[in-house]
């Protein structure tokens, strides 16, 4: 089968790999219907994170179950499923507490499982899923979604769940004032999540017209293009002399964390979900002086999918609009270039 392999900075290739098969009774094999390129995939692509040897890449996909192991109880051949961005067993203490990203049997797509066996990357034609019952989420009543629904279901595997995690961690609720730092797919989904949770004023920090337009469509009431001191003062001006109740940090750099902290009012809340890259250390003295509560981290997408899925299926939210470009799997190198050059918000890949 065809699979996406990263060899080093800027070097993405489609190569032939062995088609996956059931190795253990808790496995399933899923034929990928759609996958995508994530902003965090750009860190190894740009060389920020080293690629020591060629490896499969991609961690977001939806698809159809092709086969199941003998111990799989909740899934059947033909089910349409969403795959969260990590493998989780569903039964360990962390999974039972809803923190599936800290599972005792955690594995990532494009790596190996706890037994040392290959787990395919999402940017390919098929994937073996360990702990299928604890990892996959079945989409009830859906077997062949159209393009728009497929796109929205795919966001639940990562970016919509991650944006929601930022909003929940920042204690967004009815009447909140919110600042979202980052206008990538996660930040835009953070805007949508804040709107869904009842925020009254949502300020999206963005310098790109296409992303500003989608942020407004998703619920942003204001756009701030300024950064640093000017950005903070613009937020203060928009909010009548105070800073935001809740701030969503959706980038993961030192600069974005600084912007987020400085946009949070004393006693406010900051939710961070940007994958750390560039040393976004928290200044404890600032947190102490301003009584800022900080939460977040990797989003437990498996835990969030049921409530978000309901809103996707009834049309309450349409996060799939973050996909502004669709490409065939064979064009994945172009997809990476388009996102790296910010010519695309997020690229959906069709095998």
What CATH code is carried by the domain that includes residue 42? 3.90.180.10
Q: Which two tokens stand for residue 237?
A: 């001006």
3-state secondary structure of 76: coil
pTM of the model: 0.96
Q: Report how far residue 212's alpha carbon sits from residue 195's, in angstroms, rounded to the nearest whole number.
A: 15
Given 258, 276, 296, which residue is the final one in a domain?
296
Instruction: Using pLDDT thresholds of 50, 70 and 90, give the confidence band for residue 325.
Output: very high
Note whether 78 and 140 are within 8 A (CB): no
Q: Which two tokens stand for residue 54?
A: 């060629």
In terms of domains, do 7 and 152 share one? Answer: yes
In terms of domains, do 165 and 267 share one? Answer: yes
Could you give the percent of the chain with pLDDT greater than 90?
97
In terms of domains, do 315 and 276 share one? Answer: no
3-state secondary structure of 31: strand
Using alpha carbons, list the distances in angstroms from residue 138 to 167, 213, 318.
Answer: 25, 32, 19
Q: Report how far residue 280's alpha carbon sits from residue 296's, in angstroms, rounded to the nearest whole number.
A: 14
In terms of domains, do 182 and 284 share one? Answer: yes
CATH number at residue 279: 3.40.50.720
Q: Report how far residue 286's alpha carbon sits from residue 259's, in angstroms, rounded to the nearest whole number.
A: 13
> Which residue range is the domain that position 217 belongs to?
159-296
Given 296, 315, 341, which residue is the final one in a domain?
296
In terms of domains, do 53 and 71 share one? Answer: yes
Instruction: Using pLDDT thresholds of 50, 70 and 90, give the confidence band for residue 218.
Output: very high
Q: Report how far residue 49's alpha carbon sits from residue 11's, in angstroms, rounded to the nearest whole number.
A: 13
Q: Report how far residue 170's alpha carbon sits from residue 178's, in angstroms, rounded to the nearest whole number.
A: 9
Q: Which two tokens stand for residue 295?
A: 């939460």
3-state secondary structure of 170: coil
- Quick one: how many helices (H) and strands (E) in the chain? 12, 20
Q: What is the pLDDT of residue 169?
A: 98
Could you give the percent of the chain with pLDDT greater than 70?
99
Bridge-based pairing of strands 111-112 and 107-108 is unpaired
In terms of domains, do 177 and 154 share one? Answer: no
In terms of domains, do 11 and 54 share one? Answer: yes
In terms of domains, do 147 and 86 share one? Answer: yes
In terms of domains, do 10 and 40 share one? Answer: yes
Domain count, the chain: 2
Given 260, 276, 296, which residue is the final one in a domain?
296
In terms of domains, do 8 and 131 share one? Answer: yes
Looking at 36-75, list the stretches that DSSP marks H as alpha helix, in order from N- to C-terminal side: 42-45
Burial class (CB in 10 A: 0-12, 13-18, 19+), 198: exposed
In terms of domains, do 8 and 152 share one? Answer: yes
Residue showing tokens 């990562």: 158
Cα radius of gyration (the chain):
20
Q: Note the pLDDT tens digit of each residue in 1-29.
A: 999 999 999 999 999 999 999 999 999 99
In terms of domains, do 48 and 154 share one? Answer: yes
Q: Note the pLDDT tens digit of each residue in 257-293.
A: 999 999 999 999 999 999 887 666 789 999 999 999 9
């Amino acid at each position: 089968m065809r699979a996406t392999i990263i060899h080093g900075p800027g070097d993405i290739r489609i190569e032939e790999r062995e088609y996956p098969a059931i190795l253990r009774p808790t496995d399933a094999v899923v034929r990928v219907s759609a996958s995508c390129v994530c902003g965090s995939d750009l860190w190894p692509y740009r060389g920020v994170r080293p690629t020591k040897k060629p490896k499969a890449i991609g961690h977001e996909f939806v698809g159809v179950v092709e086969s199941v192991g003998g111990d799989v109880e909740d899934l059947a051949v033909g089910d349409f499923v969403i795959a969260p961005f990590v493998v989780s067993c569903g039964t360990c203490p962390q999974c039972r507490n809803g923190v599936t990203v800290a599972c005792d049997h955690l594995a990532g797509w494009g790596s190996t499982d706890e037994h040392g066996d290959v787990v395919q990357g999402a940017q390919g034609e098929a994937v073996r899923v360990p702990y299928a019952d604890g990892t996959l989420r079945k989409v009830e009543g859906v077997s062949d979604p159209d393009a728009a629904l497929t796109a929205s279901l795919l966001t639940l595997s990562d970016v919509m769940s991650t944006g929601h995690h930022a909003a929940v961690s920042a204690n967004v609720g009815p009447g909140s004032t919110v600042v979202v730092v980052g206008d990538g797919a996660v930040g835009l989904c953070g805007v949508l999540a804040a709107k869904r949770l009842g925020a009254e004023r949502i300020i999206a920090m963005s310098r790109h017209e296409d992303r500003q337009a989608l942020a407004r469509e998703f619920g942003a009431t204001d756009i701030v293009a300024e950064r640093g001191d000017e950005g903070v003062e613009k937020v203060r001006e928009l909010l009548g002399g105070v800073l935001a109740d809740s701030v969503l940090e959706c980038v993961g750099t030192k600069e974005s964390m600084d912007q987020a902290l400085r946009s949070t009012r004393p006693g406010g809340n900051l939710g961070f979900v940007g994958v750390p890259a560039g040393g976004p250390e928290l200044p404890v003295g600032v947190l102490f002086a301003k009584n800022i509560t900080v939460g977040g981290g990797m989003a437990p997408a498996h835990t969030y999918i049921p409530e978000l899925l309901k809103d996707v299926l009834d049309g309450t939210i349409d996060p799939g609009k973050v996909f502004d470009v669709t490409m065939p799997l064979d064009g994945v190198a172009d997809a990476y270039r388009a996102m790296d050059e910010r010519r695309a918000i997020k690229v959906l890949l069709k095998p």
